[in-house]
Amino acid sequence: MSDLQERAQALDTADELAPLRKLFTLDDTVYLDGNSLGALPRHVPARLQEVLTREWGELRIRSWDESGWWTAPERIGDRIAPIVGAAGGQIVVGDSTSVNVFKAVVAATRLAPGGRDEILVDASTFPTDGYIATSAARMTGHRIVPVAPADVPGALGPRTAAVLLNHVDYRSGRLHDLPGLTAAVHAAGAVAVWDLCHSAGALPVGLDEHGVDLAVGCTYKYLNGGPGSPAYLYVAERHQTAFDSPLPGWTSHADPFAMTPGYTPADGAVRGRVGTPDILSMLALEASLDVWDGVGIDEVRAKSLALTDFFLECVDAYAPGGRVTSVTPASHAERGSQVALSCDDAEPVMGALIARGVVGDLRRPDVLRFGFTPLYVGFADAERAARVLADVLAGTAAPAA
């Protein structure tokens, strides 16, 4: 057994979060793709069976009241709130991340002072955020200004209405300065919108503490809500009375069953709702969040950094020289919960890794991504992944220059 293998065992033995692994349905695979789809919590199938057979099968329409279906979007939002540093009553669950980005960006332009006609958008953002923001800009008469997150302070001005940023870059794993950038946006008189897809459930966010205006996020990554599980929308309490959704659906009406032709928005985060909640996936998400009971996000962050540090150390020790280079920042203050490695032959390398029981993913053309979910990934997983990666690289000829 190598020194790194022995260290991995010792670190796993000392890991206070290690017992959580048994709460998930996992096998001998090293699963490092929780930043795309989180693992299944073991108890979720039984909960869904109950929803299907009793709540839908027996109670049927009575379940909207008797089983709490109608209030699920706000109830589940309140369970997500402490994970992202928000007080209750500010998060509503429903729709996809893309739909919530649209709501948030348009609403942000309506919250901003009059006469402003620019929306700054993260130039390195996940593509759909840019697509949605561009469409929102066309509809609202604004101009899109793509800018690197680090350059946002210098790009802000009296024309800036809103700024849409990703907390963690989906390709590189770079963590952006949410507190500092939010403060800069506010100093310019604009509204800050954050996409938390790659940070919620992996590291502290501090939405309330840092004065974020609006935020969106998915629940199928580090929150383990299941494929296509509903996203969420955060509307800071101070903005709720002025929040003007571009999608004023019937379930966000102050009296939805009055069925009146005129729209009167509900109070609070409820006005972020649109249509009928997607109950099956929403209740699967609610059950999945049980694994967070008693877990502190600071503990999760500490383990995340330790895991990614250890994985990078193992890669450096094992991998053939010059075959991979980390594009994830070494600084803890700038790192999310993934490691991205530049590799000229990334696609065949990842295919070989998966065939040998190490599951990550890739972003074309040359990025290998490894996501570290601290609730179920251990240090032995990190060591094994690096060792298998080294074997694959050693057995795969480097592309011709």
Nearest to 244 by CA among 103, 382, 107, 385: 107
Query: ∠ at Cα 179 (212, 369), nearest 5°?
Result: 100
What is the four-CA torsion angle of 325, 327, 328, 329, rounded to 10 degrees?
100
pLDDT by residue for the chain (401 residues), tens only, comes to 799 999 999 999 999 999 999 999 999 999 999 999 999 999 999 999 999 999 999 999 999 999 999 999 999 999 999 999 999 999 999 999 999 999 999 999 999 999 999 999 999 888 999 999 999 999 999 999 999 999 999 999 999 999 999 999 999 999 999 999 999 999 999 999 999 999 999 999 999 999 999 999 999 999 999 999 999 999 999 999 999 999 999 999 999 999 999 999 999 999 999 999 999 999 999 999 999 999 999 999 999 999 999 999 999 999 999 999 999 999 999 999 999 999 999 999 999 999 999 999 999 999 999 999 999 999 999 999 999 999 999 986 555 44
Could you tell me where the DSSP H helices lie in 25-117? Answer: 44-50, 63-66, 72-80, 97-111
Q: Give the Cα separation of 270 and 256 in Å (integer).
A: 11
Q: Is 178 exposed, middle or buried (0-12, 13-18, 19+ CB in 10 A)?
A: buried
**DSSP letters spanning 214-282:** EEEE-SSSTT---TT---EEEE-GGGTTT---SS--GGGBSSGGG--SS--BPSGGGGG--SS--HHHH
Decide: residue 183, CB within 10 A, 0-12 exposed, 13-18 middle, 19+ buried: middle
Q: How many CB atoms lie within 10 A of CB 401?
A: 4
* Residues 157, 25: Cα–Cα separation, whole Å: 50
Backbone angles phi, psi at 103, to 5 degrees: -55, -45
pTM for this predicted structure: 0.97
Count of alpha carbons within 13 Å of 49, Cβ hemisphere only? Answer: 5
CA angle 17, 167, 337 (to 5 degrees): 30
Compute the CA torsion angle 223, 175, 17, 388 (nearest 10 deg).
100
**How large is the C-alpha radius of gyration of the chain?**
22
Residue pLDDT, tens place only, 74-93: 999 999 999 999 999 999 99
**Residue of 135, 133, 108 whose CA lies nearest to 243:** 108
Phi, psi of 147 (to 5 degrees): -155, 140
State in Å, rounded, how far the first CA of the chain is from the last one.
Answer: 36
Give CA–CA dist 90/231, Å, rounded: 14
Beta strands 160-166 and 143-147: pairing type? unpaired
Residue 357 region, left (φ>0) first, then alpha (ψ -120 to 50), else beta?
left
Of 148, 26, 93, the C-alpha closest to 274 is: 93
Residues known to be catalytic: 126, 195, 220-221, 369
Cα 5 to chain center, whole Å?
A: 31
pLDDT score recorded for residue 400: 42
The closest of 268, 104, 108, 87 to 186, measured between CA atoms, is 108
Which H or E element spans position 31? strand 30-31
Q: Listing from the earlier edge strand, what are the strands of the sheet with 91-93?
A: 91-93, 232-235, 214-217, 191-195, 160-166, 118-122, 143-147
